[in-house]
Amino acid sequence: MNGMEARLRRIIRKETGRSLVVAVDHGMALGPMTGIVDVKTTISNLDATNTIDAWLLTKGIYTYAFEPADRPGIIMRASGGATIVGPNLTHEGITSSVKEALYLGADSVAVSAFIGSEFEHQTLVDMATMATKCRKWNVPLLGVMGLGKTNEDKKKDPRFIALGARVGAEHGADIIKTYYTETDFDKVVAGCPVPVMIAGGPKCETVLDTLSMIHGALQHGARGIVMGRNVWQSPHPAALLEAVEGLIHRNFSVKEAAQLLEERINS
């Protein structure tokens, strides 16, 4: 086994080849949003469910608000520098280094690229440059494929999402995080040579919608989730995580997952 394989194993569970990653990196651009205002408590409550394979977080949260009981996988965000109140949320740059990630004890780094946006070129070059550095140290790179506000309508277009996933892999990402498309998601996966995981996006209307989205993605070849709002903005985040873990690692149907969720809520 080499360092890349060892670190990937801390992110993707060997037994199932899938992963449940909870993202709590939103504050870097959106501030203290509902569900992660007290991010330390959110992390500790979710960690207590023992369902999470890895966390996606920033160096600030990792350093000051992250106290898991065990030693889950850690994906440290290495791009940022733009906020919701600034001129352009897609104008990200590199905010950390592989050396810093290793020094802090992270297993992987994450960099965003915004396909179709004004900053597509710069963010893709940043992703590729970080991939080169990651490879030198056998650190897996999570490619976070963003779209930018002007492309929001393309989120559901499988051809656009497939293009983004493939482009991320071609620029050196070892895992791709992108959006689930209700149609042709299998084509997104088929066109991407590295594992594809889905983000949640804004909160779904119902938890059943969240479970169905995750189930649909898994059925079409996704290797798991890197999800934030749909988890920690849910009225019952811990119970939901147990149900989601059933979908990802125990091949639950949506019905089985919903039943477990109901049981946990009522227990």
* Nearer Cβ to ligand 5RP (144/240): 144
Of the candidate residues 199, 207, 214, 243, the single one contacting ligand 5RP (CB under 6 A): 199
> Minimum distance from CB of 2 to ligand 5RP (Å)?
27
> Minimum distance from CB of 266 to ligand 5RP (Å)?
26
* Nearer Cβ to ligand 5RP (76/227): 227
* 106 counts as binding ligand 5RP under rule CB under 6 A: no
In DSSP terms, 141 is beta-bridged to 109
Residue numbers 31-60 binding ligand 5RP by CB under 6 A: 56
> Minimum distance from CB of 69 to ligand 5RP (Å)?
23
Q: Cα(122)–Cα(108) distance, rounded to whole angstroms?
A: 21
Residue numbers 217-236 binding ligand 5RP by CB under 6 A: 226-230
> Minimum distance from CB of 267 to ligand 5RP (Å)?
26
Per-residue contact flags (x/-) with ligand 5RP for residues 138 to 157, judged by CB under 6 A: ------x-------------
Q: Cα(226)–Cα(20) distance, rounded to whole angstroms?
A: 7
What does the DSSP assignment read for 153-188?
GGGG-HHHHHHHHHHHHHTT-SEEEE---SSSHHHH
Known catalytic membership, residue 255? no
Residue for token pair 């990196």: 25
3-state secondary structure of 109: strand
Range in contact with ligand 5RP (rule: CB under 6 A) among 44-52, 195-203, 234-242, 257-265: 195-203
> Minimum distance from CB of 1 to ligand 5RP (Å)?
28
Which phi-psi region, left, alpha or beta, contains residue 217 (left: φ > 0; alpha: ψ -120 to 50)?
alpha
CB 224 within 8 A of CB 54: no
CB atoms inside a 10 Å sphere around CB 129: 14
Residue numbers 15-34 binding ligand 5RP by CB under 6 A: 23, 25-26, 29
Q: Cα(104)–Cα(16) distance, rounded to whole angstroms?
A: 28
C-alpha distances out from residue 61 to 27, 116, 263, Å:
9, 30, 32
- Which residue among 177, 187, 203, 255 is the active-site one? 177
Residue 225's Cα: distance from chain center in Å?
6
* 161 counts as binding ligand 5RP under rule CB under 6 A: no
Active site residues: 177
Contact residues toward ligand 5RP (CB under 6 A) are 23, 25-26, 29, 56, 144, 199-201, 226-230
